[in-house]
Structure 1
Amino acid sequence: MTELPPAIRLTGLTKEFGAVTAVDHVDLEIGAGEFFSMLGPSGSGKTTVLRLIAGFEQPTDGTIELFGQDVTKKAPFDRDVNTVFQDYALFPHMSVLDNVAYGLRVRGMKRAERRERALAALAGVRLEQMAARKPSQLSGGQRQRVALARATVVQPKVLLLDEPLGALDLKLREQMQVELKQIQRDLGITFIFVTHDQEEALTLSDRIAVFHDGRIEQLGTPRDLYENPASTFVADFVGTSNLFGAEHSAAIIGRDGHHSIRPEKLTLASAAATAAGERSAPGTIVESIYIGSGIRRVIDLDAGPRVTVLEPNTRSRAVDDDRGDRVHVTWHDEDVVSLIPPGT
């Protein structure tokens, strides 16, 4: 049985803007039907990689393959990909149905067929009842779904999404995350999603590439990245971590090197740990923050660093009752993650 080529293969991909190297020799393979996210802060290179795949930018060096075909020098309209942007880019004077059917009209499809295809695409995002409305008559989440329908109706092999949920409020973003994942599963199209929101990437993705300074710092599943960050940058950027440099690792954790422990892996006790495989460090609670589902405790350890402990919201007392209390921060040895030091 012949193995299918990856949906996207990037080899030595490089993009320079004058003296600035925005993308620095990136090698990456993205599988067919995968929901793949590129995550990183502003300026990390993730959006430039997306634009290179789309054909909006030409690489300085390297190649881009789409299902085994070299498309490096092809124009955007000659690549079987489509892009959804943050601002939706819907035509305000057209109905929802005409917006969705626009790409099919450009391709010369007959009116009856493109209407049928556009209605099917709207049904896929559960908006067929809105077909006659104008974009201005829709909510932000509905406009985003129309943009998705318009991008997928032409049945691209790969759909590129450039921070498409960034303009939505928090509640709507959370709803759209669930819907976006369901749409991707229903369509079976490869989704490549760019975001700076680590929680969004963890929620949606099959795999994530964390970008930093134009390179991929770490590549893996959401669980891999969160539970086993390879570097100090990934541990700090993906979620919240308590970071320990070499000096504090030796004094507090009892290990050489750099390490991290997630806040939810720490617990508070009135006495030092005595169970096998556990360690603890004494400190003072300096802040308690109520966050609804939990309480975030900020502890100044006697040995020097400040750590955060995330406790589930199982207590009924006021969150500021603990300020100034002496506690022991406790953890299991297996929850300590070794990190590549900064600059390595």
Structure 2
Amino acid sequence: MSLSTSAPAEPAGVVEAPAISIRGLRKTFGDVVAVDDVDLDIANGEFFSMLGPSGSGKTTVLRMIAGFERPTAGRIQLDGVDVTAAAPFERDVHTVFQDYALFPHMSVVDNVAYGLRVRGERTKARRERALQALETVRLAHVAGRRPSQLSGGQRQRVALARAIVLEPKVLLLDEPLGALDLKLREQMQVELKQLQRELGITFVFVTHDQEEALTLSDRIAVFDAGRIQQLGTPREIYEQPSSAYVAGFVGTTNLLDSATSQWILGVAGEHAVRPERLRLSPATDTEPAGTGEVRVEATVVETIYLGTGSRVHLRTDGGTELIALEQSTGFDTGEDRGDTVTVRFARADVVSLSSGS
């Protein structure tokens, strides 16, 4: 029995239905609007992330897809079938939670086989399938242990094995890496992406960690105030943010309001430029700005050493705060607090932002 759920190729001219299609989705809790008129299509086999701060609506959308919450308005389709009113067990999805929810009194293999047991599958067959799922996540060697005997990363993989053994069309992941330390979380990000590619299952991943979303996703929906603020590939979200909110939430950026833009760039409107695009040189650099280049003088407020580089906080004569990110060169660049430096960046690296937040 293969764990791959990749669909066969569609005949020519046949348009495949999205794995998930959401239209006009709304959810209120009393006077609180948690999700506000969300439209979204997620393709089969896609690693899709919903990114946003606490209270932005991303987890509520996930819970409505899973069937744990009933929408106030709107509809949800899975593989072209309307499941808006369907119970969770009637949907071909499975959810992996942050706390893993493993049974402490059961062995690892019995935890993985539990869903098959509920379905009524025979003991021998469900054990074979559970072991195969554990092999997929490289944990067959701990099949006989209890969850308490495993590391955090191993428990997380057991939870994944318990989900994929049921061969769901869609796997929903509600901040599953949130309880792990940094090193282990980075390791699991790589393993999770590899697993998704091997299985071909649609992954819908909820996180507040922007770096995690950028690392894992084919596409990202950035949420705020119950709405999708921007939808796109990681590169599109990072390089071409649609608003000041997205630019500020996804990565560090230098936001220039209209007055500052007029002074530094010579044009009005909100703009953004990423710290790694700024180049610093000593104040003795008096060469005028070249074609397509912006030049401004600033004072070093603080330099923070990061190992791989330094984050330099700056203040211009006009009072504008800027951040520059310099890659480590193995020697001290000599930018100390109070030093005056010349800041340069290409106009092509400046992003014009919409007025919306």
Does the Cα contact within 8 Å between 2:300 and 2:335 map onto a contact in 1?
no
| Matched residue SS, 2:130 | helix
Give the corresponding residue for 2:294. 279
Return the TM-score normalized by structure 2: 0.94
CA distance in 1, matches of 2:146, 2:44: 34
Letter matched to residue 323 of structure 2: T
For 2:343, give the aligned amino acid: V
The answer on 1:176 being equivalent to 2:191 is no
CA contact (8 A) 1:12 1:25 kept: yes
Counterpart in the other structure of 1:326? 340
Distance in 2 of aligned mates of 1:120 and 1:28: 34
Q: For 2:217, give the aligned amino acid.
A: S
- Alpha-carbon RMSD across the aligned residues, in angstroms, is 1.0
Q: Is contact 2:292–2:346 with CA below 8 Å preserved after alignment?
A: yes
Q: Give the CA deviation at 1:274.
A: 3.2
Give the 3 Å change call, closer, same or farther, for CA 91–324 of structure 1 in structure 2. Answer: same
Aligned pair partner of 1:245 in 239, 254, 257:
257
Query: 1:50 aligned to 2:65?
Result: no
1:163 and 2:175 correspond = yes
Q: Does 1:8 align with 2:20?
A: yes
| Secondary structure at 1:160 match in 2 | strand
Partner Cα separation in structure 1 for residue 356 and residue 39 of structure 2: 22
The correspondence for 2:242, drawn from 230, 235, 252, is 230
Please, what TM-score do these two structures have when normalized by structure 1? 0.98
Code of the residue aligned with 1:292 in structure 2: it is: G
Aligned partners of 1:302 and 1:315: how far apart in 2?
Answer: 30
**Equivalent residue number for residue 5 of structure 2:** none
Match of 2:314 among 295, 299, 310: 299
Number of residue equivalences: 342
2:150 pairs, out of 122, 131, 138, with: 138
Say which SS state the counterpart of residue 322 (structure 1) adopts.
coil
Q: CA deviation at 1:275?
A: 2.4
Corresponding residue SS for 2:318: coil
Deviation at 1:322, TM superposition (A): 1.9
2:325 equivalent among 293, 310, 320? 310
Mapped partners of 1:45, 1:342: distance in 2: 18
| 8 A contact 1:103–1:150 mirrored in 2 | yes
CA distance in 1, matches of 2:188, 2:146: 20
Distance 2:178 2:28 in 1: 27
Q: Which range is displaced more, 186-195 or 299-308?
A: 299-308
| C-alpha distance in structure 1 between counterparts of 2:347 and 2:211, whole Å | 26
Give the gaps of 5 or more residues in structure 2: 1-11
1:2-59: CA deviation from partner (whole Å, max 9, x where unpaired): 1110000000000011111100010000000000000001110000000000000000
CA shift digits 1:113-166 (9 cap, x unpaired) = 111111110011000001001000000000000000001100000000000000
The letter of the residue matching 2:265 is I
Give 2:32's aligned residue: 20
Contact 1:230–1:340 (8 Å) recurs in 2: yes
SS in 1 for 2:310: strand
Q: Answer yes or no: is 1:38 the counterpart of 2:50.
A: yes
What is the identity, as a one-letter code, of the residue corresponding to 2:36? D
Deviation for aligned residue 1:323: 1.6
1:342, CA displacement in angstroms?
4.0
Q: Secondary structure at 1:300's aligned position in 2?
A: strand
Find out whether 1:68 has 2:68 as its counterpart: no
- Paired letter, 2:215: T
**Structure 1 contact 33–191 (Cα < 8 Å) conserved:** yes
Partner of 2:179, secondary structure, is coil
Displacement of 1:320 after TM fit?
7.3
**Could you tell me how far apart the structure 1 residues matched to 2:297 and 2:200 are?**
52
Residues 321 and 263 of structure 1, relative CA distance in 2, 3 Å threshold = closer
The C-alpha deviation readout for 1:249-302, integer Å capped at 9, x for no partner, is 000122220000000000102325432211111010010000111100001111
**Aligned partners of 2:107 and 2:348: how far apart in 1?**
57
Deviation at 1:315, TM superposition (A): 3.7
The residue matched to 2:177 in structure 1 has which SS?
coil
| Correspondent of 2:354 among 337, 340, 343 | 340
**Aligned-pair distance for 1:217?**
0.2
Decide which of 116, 125, 132 is 2:137's aligned counterpart. Answer: 125
Using the alignment, how far apart are the partners of 1:10 and 1:320 within structure 2?
A: 54
Report the alpha carbon displacement of residue 169 of structure 1 after superposing the two structures with TM: 0.4
Give the unaligned 5+ runs of structure 1: none
Distance 2:356 2:120 in 1: 54
Are 1:268 and 2:283 an aligned pair?
no
SS in 1 for 2:134: helix
Range with greater deviation from structure 2 (270-279 or 221-230): 270-279
Give 2:337's aligned amino acid: R
1:28 and 1:283 mapped to 2: Cα distance? 44
> Structure 1 residues 320 and 92, CA, compared in 2 at 3 Å: closer, same or farther?
farther
Q: Judge conservation of contact 1:40–1:196 (CA < 8 Å) in 2.
A: yes
